[in-house]
Structure 1
Amino acid sequence: MAFIMTLLICSISIKFTMAQSELTVRKELEEVEKLLVEVENEVNALLNKQSSLEQKKKSLKSHLRRLAEQKNSAHSWGTESFDWSVELETKCRSVFGISSFRPHQLEVMNVTLSGVDCILIMPTGAGKSLCFQLPALISSGLTLVISPLVSLMKDQISSLSKRNVNAVMLSSSTEKHTMNAVFADMTSSPCKMKLLYVTPEKLAKSKRFMNKLEQCYKKGLLSRIAIDEVHCCSHWGHDFRPDYKFLGILKRQFPQTPILGLTATASTHVLIDVQKILHLQHAQVYKGSFNRENLCYQVQLKPLDHTECMDKISQLILSKYRNQSGIVYCFSRKDTVSVASDLSARGVMSAAYHADLESCERSRVHNLWTEDKIKVIVATIAFGMGIDKPNVRFVIHHSLSKSVENYYQESGRAGRDGLPADCLLLYRLSDVHRQSCMVFTESTGLAQLYSMMGYCCNLSTCRRKLLAQHFNEVWEETSCDGMCDCCSSQFVDVLEPISAERLERSIPLVYEVLDNAKHSDTRLTSQKVLNAVLGKGPLSASSS
């Protein structure tokens, strides 16, 4: 009996303990649930506060932007009423021998001297360099010039030195004692240097240089930063360079120093991209007309046979351009050597220029051409930025460029003296395939190449209008005044435009050719397809 009572008491005790334990757990659960509700309320309150702050931030940014716009619009940048206007004009005459400014030059100089960011888009030879060189002379501090090519920097420094302007360049070949002297001057007041030229690689890879630049800025000696060939920042640009993307830190690191970006070619895509990368969304933008009135644009079919092609080019140079300077652009380094050799054999004084040549040899060839000891330079796109020979009478493209921007830049080497000059492009479909193998890995490579192909294949629209459409500029075809093959009756070496009806009739023939190739296991090329549609060769369509 005692044993049973003990078991009963134990059982009751266990049940009571379990009941107590369950009650405790329930109470804890209620407490946790209450805490969760409180936390959720706090989170919601914080989210509401975050949303409110985001709205306020957006509103303040918008207000700041409007203030900046009002500040900029309040100025008439093209006037001569600024504190520095008299000195600017005086220095322009005494140092550069220039008595009047070209379009946009005065506006851009006033903008950068006012400490406002600016982007300038003007054609080759329109005077972009003066827009930072002249302000540098009347500024108390240093103007940093970022340029992609050492040769371009050397040319500008040589020209400035002849005018007794203190301009210096830092590159990988700069001797240590010179570099130390430059670094010391960067942080000395007053700064003796007026312009310091560097490549973007120098900024990206030299911590010591960036440290000195930071010191220069903190002492108020960094007057402005000029970025030449600013389109190199953008993947949409025709000459994208990875180190240019590093320049995006400049506005954050030196917020009070105005940045001036300069380029000869920038479509809307490129401009937006550049502004985003460099944090220049609120910069003043000046865009000169793309039109070079003295250049005559023409596209001709390129002969399939190399010998015939060389005969065509040499005969043209020896007849129309005898003893005149010109450039022949080629697709590859191998092509430059071959074309230069073949032209020389036909009596055209020419030499090849490409990236594989030693630096001294490139300089030698460049100097021979500049001094008119040879008349024609046969080059890849390595021969581009910084070429400043005014009397180039013709630019011939042995094959199409990889983009419209490239073509505009390359053809723009002609006629920088303002006298008439010709830009002839020899087009062949197989050259498109060669270029596509080189550009297909670029994010916009093929799209830009196909735009260039469209320019070549359009036989009815004014060449200038096609360029205007690409650069988002309004253009009336009547303004060409017969200075392109599509607007002038003097050019007969072009294909007759194909009508829509004829094109529609050709489509079934193309499908038939593709079918024939598939069944005969034949590898197709564009030329084979064309021949077959025209009724030539084993894959010939049944009719043409």
Structure 2
Amino acid sequence: MAANCENGNSSRVSIELAEIIEEIEFNQRKIAELIERNEVLEQRKAEIELALEIRNVEQAEKIANTQFDGTFPWSDNVDCVLKEVFHLPSFRPLQREVINAIMSELDTLVVMSTGAGKSLCYQLPAVVMKGLIVVVSPLISLIEDQLAGLRKLGIEGAALNQSTPKEDVKRIEAQLVQKGSSLRLLYITPEKLAKSKRLMNKLEKSAEVGALKVCLVSVTHFYQ
């Protein structure tokens, strides 16, 4: 009887040992797969970093060799939209340069005083480019004022924030992925952008289909 118990214990131990060995081998295979995957990711990471570095160098060279107050292929159209759509006789200082930089698809940092005409620098390109420009702004009152101004000019704009009705959200999100959409400016609060993965996915899709042209952050205050 004792011999049978010993044989049973030995069998269970052998089974447990075999299971442990099998699990170790499985884990080793998974570790090898993860190491291989990590090597692929590291290589891709290096390729992307190099591409970004080259892009930055090329962009810096392009900026250094460009006179943004000069003539561009879109200059006539820009002047026409300024007068016919925005009903303005001329640009304020630096507006033309900023518009040309944006339409040259360059990363652009603009510092202007209040009332200097920053909004025109992205509203006008939205009309000329016939695409969507997304404006991230925390000031809902300013967004509402700008949307009211756009409506008077016949330019379609919209806003998304935490209080936007669901029906409006669905309608706007549908417009984001339509390349021929008439939506020109979409104002989004930072909170809405940060908390909505669905919106981020829609914006990525909008860029893929060629509808989204420019993303920018508006109204940054510096305090001393």
Question: Which category of TM-score, normalised to the shorter sequence, fits these structures?
Answer: 0.7 to 0.9
Measure, in 2, the Cα distance between the counterparts of 1:210 and 1:125: 31
1:197 is aligned to 187
Partner of residue 132 from structure 1, selected from 115, 122, 127: 122
2:62 is aligned to 71
TM-score, normalised relative to structure 2: 0.73
User: Cα–Cα, structure 1 residues 99 and 65, in superposed 2: closer, same or farther, change >3 Å?
Assistant: same
1:164 is aligned to 2:158: no
Partner of residue 83 from structure 1, selected from 66, 73, 76: 73
Q: Aligned residues: percent identity?
A: 39
Alpha-carbon deviations, 1:388-409, whole Å to 9, x = none? xxxxxxxxxxxxxxxx3xxxxx
Number of residue pairs aligned between Structure 1 and Structure 2: 176
Measure, in 2, the Cα distance between the counterparts of 1:64 and 1:174: 38
Measure, in 1, the Cα distance between the counterparts of 2:79 and 2:116: 18
2:91 is aligned to 101
Partner of residue 107 from structure 2, selected from 117, 127, 136: 117
Measure, in 2, the Cα distance between the counterparts of 1:166 and 1:130: 15
Tell me by how many angstroms 1:111 deviates. 0.6
Measure, in 1, the Cα distance between the counterparts of 2:182 and 2:212: 12
1:217 is aligned to 2:202: no
Alpha-carbon deviations, 1:414-470, whole Å to 9, x = none? xxxxxxxxxxxxxxxxxxxxxxxxxxxxxxxxxxxxxxxxxxxxxxxxxxxxxxxxx
Measure, in 2, the Cα distance between the counterparts of 1:87 and 1:152: 28
Measure, in 2, the Cα distance between the counterparts of 1:162 and 1:64: 40
Tell me by how many angstroms 1:64 deviates. 5.2
Measure, in 1, the Cα distance between the counterparts of 2:97 and 2:185: 21
Query: Contact 2:179–2:210 at 8 Å: present in 1 too?
Result: no
2:172 is aligned to 182
Query: Contact 2:143–2:159 at 8 Å: present in 1 too?
Result: yes
User: Cα–Cα, structure 1 residues 172 and 65, in superposed 2: closer, same or farther, change >3 Å?
Assistant: closer
Gaps of 5+ in 2: 1-45
**Structure in which a larger fraction of residues adopt helix:** 2
Mapping 1:144-155, distance limit 5 Å: 144-155=134-145
Alpha-carbon deviations, 1:113-139, whole Å to 9, x = none? 111010111111111110000011011
User: Cα–Cα, structure 1 residues 65 and 174, in superposed 2: closer, same or farther, change >3 Å?
Assistant: closer
User: Cα–Cα, structure 1 residues 67 and 203, in superposed 2: closer, same or farther, change >3 Å?
Assistant: same
Alpha-carbon deviations, 1:336-363, whole Å to 9, x = none? xxxxxxxxxxxxxxxxxxxxxxxxxxxx
- Radius of gyration: which is bigger? 1
1:226 is aligned to 216
Measure, in 2, the Cα distance between the counterparts of 1:226 and 1:66: 22
Alpha-carbon deviations, 1:281-334, whole Å to 9, x = none? xxxxxxxxxxxxxxxxxxxxxxxxxxxxxxxxxxxxxxxxxxxxxxxxxxxxxx
- What one-letter code is carried by the residue in structure 2 that aligns with 1:70? E
| Runs of 4+ residues deviating >6 angstroms | none
Query: Contact 2:161–2:191 at 8 Å: present in 1 too?
Result: no
Measure, in 2, the Cα distance between the counterparts of 1:208 and 1:65: 30
Measure, in 1, the Cα distance between the counterparts of 2:141 and 2:198: 24
Tell me by how many angstroms 1:68 deviates. 2.3
Measure, in 2, the Cα distance between the counterparts of 1:152 and 1:115: 26
TM-score, normalised relative to structure 1: 0.31
Tell me by how many angstroms 1:202 deviates. 0.9
Q: RMSD in angstroms over aligned alpha carbons?
A: 1.9
